[in-house]
Amino acid sequence: METAAKATKKDSESLLSTLGLGGTVTIDRGAVAATIMKHVQRGVGLLSIGSRGLDALDRFMLGSISNHAIHHAPCSVLVVKEPPRPVRHLILALDGSAASDKAVKFVMRTINPTPDGPDREPVLVTIVHAMPFLKYPEVKEVGKGLVQRYGDKLLKSGFQIREAVRLGKPADEILTVAKKNKADLIVTGAKGLGAIGRVLLGSVSTRVVQHAHCSVLVVR
C-alpha cells in the first residue's frame, strides 16, 4: 500500500506539472472520509472525488466516501464518474431554494457558455424542476415560472436552454432526463428550503450521486 501510495503521489505531481497547475500532493493516514474532511476544512473551494474504483470493494468505499462528502463538506463537491471530457450539455436540477441560486451562479461563473471548438455551439443547459405527484395544478405553474426565471438568466449569459418540469420522484426524474439527453454533468444545490427540504434534497442528491451515469456537482 505504501509503494502504491508513493507511485500515485509521483504520478499526480507529474500530472500537475504537465497541466501547468500549482499545488501539493500529500499522503496521509487515517479513516478516509474523516481525513479528507480534515483537509477540506482548510479553506478549500471545491472538493473533487472519484466514485468508481478498480473493483467492487473500491466502488463501495468510494461511493460511501462521496456520499459522506456531499453531506458534510463545507464546500462544493464534484463527484467524478467518467474520464474528463468537454461539458457540452449539463443538467441543472433546481428546487427554488437559496441553494438553487448558488448552483445557477456557479454555472454562470465557472462554465464558458461558448467554449472553443469547430462548431462554437453554446453549452446546452437543461433546467429540471421535479416535484412529487400533487393534486394542485398551481404547484406545477409555480415550477414552470421558476424554471423560466432561471432560464432567462442563463439565456442572457449565452447558454442554450431547455426546460423540463417533471412530476414524479425528483431523483428519478433528474436521472431519467440526464440519461435520455446523454448529459456530461449534473449540477444541483446542496440544501433545500427548510428542515424538510434539506432532508428531501439530501436524499435526492444521495440517489443522484449513487446512480448517475455522469459526474455530479453539488454546489454549496
DSSP state at residue 123: P
Q: Predicted confidence band at 100 (pLDDT cuts at 50, 70, 90)?
A: confident
| Grid cell in block for residue 174 | 433528474
Q: What is the pTM of this model?
A: 0.86
Bridge partners, residue 215, by sequence: 185
Q: Is it the case that residue 54 has pLDDT exceeding 50? A: no
Least trusted range by pLDDT, from 108-112, 171-175, 204-208, 210-214: 204-208
**CB atoms near residue 126 (< 10 Å):** 23
pLDDT of residue 205: 83
Q: For the chain, give the mean pLDDT.
A: 84
Query: Around 45, how many Cα atoms within 13 Å sit in the side-chain half-sphere?
Result: 2
d(CA 189, CA 99): 5
Q: Rg of the chain over CA atoms, in angstroms?
A: 18
pLDDT of residue 193: 41
Which is more confident, 190 or 89? Answer: 89
Best CA proximity match to 206, nearest among 71, 18, 50: 71
d(CA 74, CA 182): 30
pLDDT of residue 195: 43
| Region 181-201 average pLDDT | 69
